[in-house]
Amino acid sequence: MTSRRGYYDVALFFPATVTLGRLHELLDSLDDNDINVDYASLEFASDGLYCEAKTSVSEGMEALIKDIGNGDIALDWDTMAEWD
């Protein structure tokens, strides 16, 4: 995660098995937890959906993502490693 003035940039991945209805639920849950997806960054691939988000959450991000997504969201560590 990179930080800019109290906000952190994160990269997210949604597997291709996630339905549009479930994606909508997940995006709402992320927003409710102060994880704001940049819709302009949505990138569809054969294995799923990639996007970037900003959040003020600084600790426990991986656990929070697991709780919200129940396996339907993951942090995209490869993309975030490229940012450094």
CATH (one of 3.30.70.240, 3.30.470.20, 3.30.499.10, 2.160.10.10) for 2-83: 3.30.70.240
**8 Å CB contact between 7 and 57:** no
**Residue 4: which H helix or E strand, with range?**
strand 2-4
Map out the domains of the chain as residue ranges.
Answer: 2-83
φ, ψ of residue 6 in degrees (nearest 5): 85, -5
The model's pLDDT over 7-56, given as tens digits with 9 standing for 90+, comes to 899 999 999 999 999 999 999 999 999 999 999 999 999 999 999 999 99
- Extract the tokens encoding 52: 């970037």
Q: In angstroms, rounded to a whole number, what is the distance separating the alpha carbons of residues 48 and 31?
A: 20
* Residue 7 confidence (pLDDT): 87
**Other CB atoms within 10 A of residue 72 CB:** 19
With 60 as the cut, is the pLDDT of residue 4 above it? Answer: no
* Three-class SS state of 23: helix
